[in-house]
Amino acid sequence: MAYYLQQTINALTTGSLYALLALGYTMVFGVLRLINFAHGEVCMVGAFVAAFVARAWNQAAGLAPTAEQTWVQAICGFLVAALACGLLGFTIERMAYRPLRKASKLSALITAISISLILQNLAQIQWRINGIQLFGPNGLAFPRIIGTSTPIVWLRDTCGISVVPLELLILGLTAGTLLLLWYIVRYTHMGQAMRAVSISYDAAALMGIPINRTISSTFILGSILAALGGCLYGMNNTKVEPLMGLIPGLKAFVAAVLGGIGNIPGAALGGFMLGIIETAVAAQQIGDVSLSPYRDAVAFVLLIVVLLIRPEGIFGRALPEKV
Amino acid sequence: MTRLTWMYVVCVGVLVGITGLGLSACGEGQVQEQVIILGGMGPLTGRNSTFGQSTQQGIQLAESEINAQGGVLGKKVRIIFADTESRSDRAALAAGKLINEDKVVGIIGSVTSGESLGAAAQVQQARIPMLSPTSTNPKVTQQGDFIFRSCFNDTYQGRVIATYAARELKLTRAAILKDIGDDYSTGLADAIRAEFIRLGGQIVAEESYSGSEATYKTQLTKIADSKPEIIFTPIYYSAGVTIIRQARELGIMVPFMGGDGLHYDETITLGGKDVEGCYVVSHFINSDPDPKVQKFVADYRVKFSNEPNVLAALGYDAAKIMFAALQRAGTTEGTKLRDCLAQTTNYPGVTGMITFDAQRNAQKSAVVLTIHAGKFEMLKRIAPDPQ
């Protein structure tokens, strides 16, 4: 029993991390019809920046750089990371995607892939500020928040499962972000503009909706989500490295497609589904053979099946082909 | 008009650049008579860039030492290093460049087994000896009679790991967690499993992951359920530290034991107190009191102002073995050099005594380390298998 409960917790944590990233993917796609493959790398940059703030703060306070950080430090780290990622997202859109907005979708897609490669390789250059490493090819420590990495005693004694507060934090923040995003898209002017651009780019422009500003704010919002995802991902993995955005970026893409790309609740649901399916497969044992090597295979086969049966995703609306 | 002028300037600039390069290349061609050109290769960029850079630094230290002593065969040695970009297909291109453009007489490389396997066919065809300092996968030297390795292979490394756990630690229940997408990891896992079972042990769980994961807790929860006394992790430190820390969070307190992929300072800096008491089998430790190791560590510190890691030491030894073989051969001719390289016997390297067997693999000792008080400490030196 405890075993299944523990695996459920594992599944939900994995799912939350995928869902957070999938939200960013889906928002950009909804507005621009562009698969922003650089999303995972923006998340990586966010993680590096937040980890740097934590380590620099520790150093300034006379602690070991890898010492656990306080909540204040973590929140400041996230804010700096959000600022950096927002700026990065804005720049990427302004410099790389906007000039190509009227070009073919393929050009934009190729540009997205190159942005992702550029960021991966730039992050491998040693970059220090006051002797503290910001970027570099080696993994760097991402300090945990004090008290979030010791299992909760009460749950261990009553249910026999090991849950660290960090996992609850990840779950809570994912749920909170989802609600906040839903509110923004549903009830704010910016959200209304986003929805309008998403329905029809040209009609929205004719109605006097500031297209460029709307798209920029979508990118900034998506990048701030990536920063949050990166912080939590880095904290969960206790380290940051230049290629950390690659696999989660891919998985989040699958999650977004699964849920119906462009659809916000769909992306979150897709993320959780992917996390649960992966864990369910990996947790199986047939005789002596563990099924853990097949978890990615099953996840991607599922993607193919969904695309075959329901190309618009579980929650997606089928769009008539525009000629 | 201005646009045309610009284009003109750019074209002229490019032409001048090309001619300039051509001239300097010719210049080098003439110097070639006085130097012996060797090739080095490894990942200087991409996901394994730090591995390549460390190895390159070890090789560079050996290069400057030999030239300070007057070089080999009365000539200076020059080592041209080619980047494999952490990809096995690019390793083949890098080898091609070294052979065809730089006309190297021997190659020290590549670093990872995948890259060495990618480059081997080309090197074998050109009949130029290639000596890998660090590729531990057994298949590497099976690619042809010009391919050598100056480190031990995974079969031996796996045997040392399993034997130490079974005989010295007297453990009988072990779990394995490996990276299914990595030749190094799966090969080493096979070797550990076979030997541990042969010694009467039991593998109670064998789990795997691919590349890097958001969390390894699914696999770790399964492992915890099978109650092992030790967990073998034949993987690199990058995933290794996350796995060990997440295991501690799940309340798994048994030691982890891995191979040379975990023998990096990052294992300790990133793992903190969670990696204390874990075991690592490796080639060398830079706190070894042996005077030649201490001299190497001191020289390396002076040249690069940091501590040498295991890859730097292996690169250094490989370069020196290549120099010694050149000296014995008295020529740079490929087949002769290959034969002399194959005769390497009891070479006293900083990573131990090195003798090549008939399959061109180094027979050498391994060290068992543990992590104690934030440092790697040597527990035991294991002698190579008797021939």
> What is the tens place of the pLDDT at every residue in A65-86?
888 889 999 999 999 999 999 9
> What is the tens place of the pLDDT at every residue in B212-250?
788 899 999 999 999 999 999 999 888 999 999 999 999
pLDDT in the model for residue A318: 59
DSSP string, A135-157: E-SS-EE-PPBTTSSSPPHHHHH
Q: What tokens were used for B93? A: 């291109």
Residues with Cβ within 8 Å of A188's Cβ and at least 6 positions away in sequence, in order, are none
Distance of alpha carbon A304 from alpha carbon A314, whole angstroms? 13
Residues with Cβ within 8 Å of A306's Cβ and at least 6 positions away in sequence, in order, are A257, A258, A313, A314
> What is the tens place of the pLDDT at every residue in A3-46?
899 999 999 999 999 999 999 888 888 888 888 899 999 999 99
- Judged by a CB distance cut-off of 8 A, whether residue B277 touches chain A is no
Please name which of B112, B3, B118 lies closest in space to residue B55, comparing C-alpha atoms: B112
Does B219 contact A6 at a Cβ distance shorter than 8 Å?
no
Helix (H, G, I), strand (E, B) or coil at B93: helix
pLDDT in the model for residue A62: 87
pLDDT in the model for residue A30: 85
Phi-psi region of A270 (alpha: psi -120 to 50; beta: other; left: phi over 0): alpha
For residue B72, the 8-state DSSP code is B
- Of residues B47, B222, B266, nearest to A290 (C-beta): B222
> What is the tens place of the pLDDT at every residue in B50-64?
899 999 999 999 999
Residue B26 has pLDDT above 50, yes or no: no
pLDDT in the model for residue B263: 93
> What is the tens place of the pLDDT at every residue in B245-295?
999 999 899 999 999 999 998 899 888 889 999 999 999 998 888 999 999
Alpha helices in B217-354 (DSSP H): 217-225, 237-249, 265-271, 291-304, 310-329, 334-342
Report the CATH number of the B32-152+289-356 domain: 3.40.50.2300
Residues of B in contact with A12 (CB under 8 A): none
Distance of alpha carbon B334 from alpha carbon B214, whole angstroms? 48
Residue B16 has pLDDT above 80, yes or no: no
By percentage, how much of chain A surpasses pLDDT 70? 98
Distance of alpha carbon B239 from alpha carbon B188, whole angstroms? 16
Q: Number of helices and strands (H, E) in chain B? A: 12, 15
- Of residues B206, B249, B250, nearest to A290 (C-beta): B206
* The dihedral formed by the CA atoms of B120, B125, B126 and B132, expressed in degrees to the nearest 10: 20
Distance of alpha carbon B240 from alpha carbon B373, whole angstroms? 19
Q: What are the domain boundaries of chain B?
A: 32-152+289-356, 155-282+369-382
- Of residues A6, A18, A236, nearest to B221 (C-beta): A6
Put simply, whether the predicted model's pTM sits higher than 0.95 gets the answer no
Q: Which residue of A has its CA nearest to B181?
A: A293
SS3 content of chain A, % helix, strand, coil (to 5): 70, 5, 25
Helix (H, G, I), strand (E, B) or coil at A313: coil
Residues of chain A under the 70 pLDDT cut? 317-323
Average pLDDT, chain B: 88
* Beta-sheet strands, E only, within B162-229: 173-179, 202-209
- Judged by a CB distance cut-off of 8 A, whether residue A248 touches chain B is yes
> What is the tens place of the pLDDT at every residue in A234-247?
999 888 989 898 88
ipTM confidence:
0.89
pLDDT tier for residue B126 given thresholds of 50, 70 and 90: very high
* Topology match between the domains B32-152+289-356 and B155-282+369-382: yes
pLDDT in the model for residue A227: 95
pLDDT in the model for residue B130: 95
**CATH code 3.40.50.2300 for B155-282+369-382:** yes
For residue A96, the 8-state DSSP code is I
Pairing verdict, β B173-179 and B130-132: unpaired
> What is the tens place of the pLDDT at every residue in B166-215?
999 999 999 999 998 888 899 999 999 999 999 999 999 999 998 778 88
Asked if B201 contacts B173 with a C-beta cutoff of 8 angstroms, the reply is yes
Does A3 contact B269 at a Cβ distance shorter than 8 Å?
no
Residue B153 parent element (H or E):
none
Rg (CA), chain A: 20
> What is the tens place of the pLDDT at every residue in B134-170?
999 899 999 999 999 999 989 999 999 999 999 999 9
Q: Which residue of A has its CA nearest to B85?
A: A121
pLDDT in the model for residue B27: 40
